[in-house]
Structure 1
């Protein structure tokens, strides 16, 4: 009904039944892959000296459970001053079209920025990406590089919610969303190399040795936990127990038949052949030099 006298009351419209299914669902979890993270860091390192922060587009997939998976990203040209903020939308859409040809499943899910400052300009950029994501809420990843004094490095994820009786693009509140770093098993060796002190890639045998040390350390931790539970020092977790039963209850027939030994012999043979080819190439190059002289 209409409001008679001027007041601070807010008119709330009743939502018809059955229309809730069309409402955008707030993500329950945001997972960030290493490729996207390294792309953001590379963009930050290549920024101009006058830029305080960089922004870009996040690409990934969504599932029915509300989880958003950030798989990749690309930089977006933008200009930010005390008076205005401008984003090169044509460049942004061209980059997305090129990326979509290679990865047709990945769609725009939001944007990223470096630093932890969420201001009016962030709200305007969030409003732009909300239009790009359609019926889904746009995800904002804020990466704090930790280069500023008193700031700790870290990653946070947000979604926006409008504020006010008559919401405006520059008026919104950023609501935190759970965010975690996730990578596949095939990417573990590359991440271990990047986080290690070694500046050169490890050989196959060195990689195998490091993997065996890691597995041995994990088995020692599991064995220590099981002994603590059996002795009554620690209360057992049913979820951990079921996970251990599923893991160690797997079929070990291939291992008993010598599958691991055969795989190890294949690895050693490949390493030996690689060294042999390298030696042959070096001998051939030296013979060519002697013949030429």
Structure 2
């Protein structure tokens, strides 16, 4: 029995929350006669760190013909080309599907995406039905099994994966978590301005530092028994922070604040210009309708 040479269980795969949101949105907007949603996974490889990041995806139209699926390959190609214009660094990593188990059409889809991917294609299975009020997801890859120079088959083996989020996604996830913890059906409030988020993050960081200092002082005063796991975690956290003196840190912080304020100002100006443009366009449409109505009345 032989395994494919490019199969590696030690590969670290990171999935961004945006991918899950897009899959759920596609599942909610699926046609009435469709039982599942199928699409293409996009992302990038980091050979130095030995990990793969799934950062984007798009759904692909298909038709069921008995036990086979007929993908709209023209639509998939057009969507991939449009995505390459906006995100040229992303590559095809595999495909996703909704459901609670690997479907019979997985082998057919594996053969198609094996031609589209530069490495072994990944298969992300998402149970968007939220059974048990949980979003279940599993990651697979196809492994060739069989006797050399004989009959071969394909087995989908599960891979370990982790959720990874950047700064913008962390802000959105924090807002969603805060809303879910609130009682009642209160509407979601607006996202706080950037400076308010900086103040909240600084306050949260200060509270965490106070908690760490309280633990360290209690251990030094022999009020609490030391824990080797906590000590190693604190050591790793402290050594990961670069040593910067207070003056350079203040200069760096002020420069970042100025850059953020400039970005906020430009974003506000662009938003205002768009709003003015929409109002002017609406006024022109109303004037044209009024002139058209007046012309018809004169006739």
Judge conservation of contact 1:111–1:139 (CA < 8 Å) in 2: yes
**CA–CA distance in structure 2, aligned partners of residues 250 and 101 of structure 1:** 40
Verify: 1:236 aligned to 2:228, yes or no. Answer: yes
Q: For 1:212-231, what aligned pairs fall within 5 Å after superposition?
A: 212-227=202-217, 230=220, 231=222
**CA–CA distance in structure 1, aligned partners of residues 34 and 205 of structure 2:** 44
Verify: 1:92 aligned to 2:76, yes or no. Answer: yes
Report the counterpart of residue 52 of structure 1 in structure 2.
35
Judge conservation of contact 1:56–1:73 (CA < 8 Å) in 2: yes
Distance 1:236 1:167, change over 3 A: same
Judge conservation of contact 1:160–1:174 (CA < 8 Å) in 2: yes
Q: For 1:31-42, what aligned pairs fall within 5 Å after superposition?
A: 31-42=14-25
Question: Structure 2: any 5+ residue segments left out of the alignment?
Answer: 180-187, 273-299
Which string of whole-angstrom CA distances, capped at 9 and with x for unpartnered residues, describes residues 97-123 of structure 1?
222233222111111112221132122
Which string of whole-angstrom CA distances, capped at 9 and with x for unpartnered residues, describes residues 146-177 of structure 1?
434x5732322111112344556xx5221111
**CA–CA distance in structure 2, aligned partners of residues 267 and 203 of structure 1:** 11
Q: Greater helix percent: which structure?
A: 2
Quick one: which of 145, 166, 171 aligns to 2:128? Answer: 145
Quick one: which of 189, 194, 197 aligns to 1:199? Answer: 189
Which string of whole-angstrom CA distances, capped at 9 and with x for unpartnered residues, describes residues 159-200 of structure 1?
1112344556xx522111111111123432233223332332
Question: Structure 1: any 5+ residue segments left out of the alignment?
Answer: 1-9, 13-19, 279-293
Verify: 1:107 aligned to 2:99, yes or no. Answer: no
TM-score norm. by structure 1 comes to: 0.70
**CA–CA distance in structure 2, aligned partners of residues 256 and 125 of structure 1:** 52
**CA–CA distance in structure 2, aligned partners of residues 90 and 221 of structure 1:** 57
Distance 1:63 1:204, change over 3 A: closer
Report the counterpart of residue 69 of structure 1 in structure 2.
53
**CA–CA distance in structure 1, aligned partners of residues 72 and 177 of structure 2:** 35
Judge conservation of contact 2:37–2:97 (CA < 8 Å) in 1: yes
CA RMSD in angstroms, aligned pairs only? 3.6
Per the TM alignment, residue 257 of structure 1 is displaced from its structure 2 partner at its CA by 5.6
**CA–CA distance in structure 2, aligned partners of residues 48 and 111 of structure 1:** 19
**CA–CA distance in structure 1, aligned partners of residues 133 and 227 of structure 2:** 38
Report the counterpart of residue 293 of structure 2 in structure 1.
none
Verify: 1:129 aligned to 2:151, yes or no. Answer: no
Per the TM alignment, residue 259 of structure 1 is displaced from its structure 2 partner at its CA by 7.3
TM-score norm. by structure 2 comes to: 0.69
Task: Name the count of aligned residue pairs.
Answer: 251
Judge conservation of contact 1:229–1:236 (CA < 8 Å) in 2: no
Quick one: which of 23, 30, 50 aligns to 2:13? Answer: 30
Judge conservation of contact 2:144–2:155 (CA < 8 Å) in 1: yes
Judge conservation of contact 1:32–1:179 (CA < 8 Å) in 2: yes
Judge conservation of contact 2:67–2:104 (CA < 8 Å) in 1: no
**CA–CA distance in structure 2, aligned partners of residues 125 and 30 of structure 1:** 20
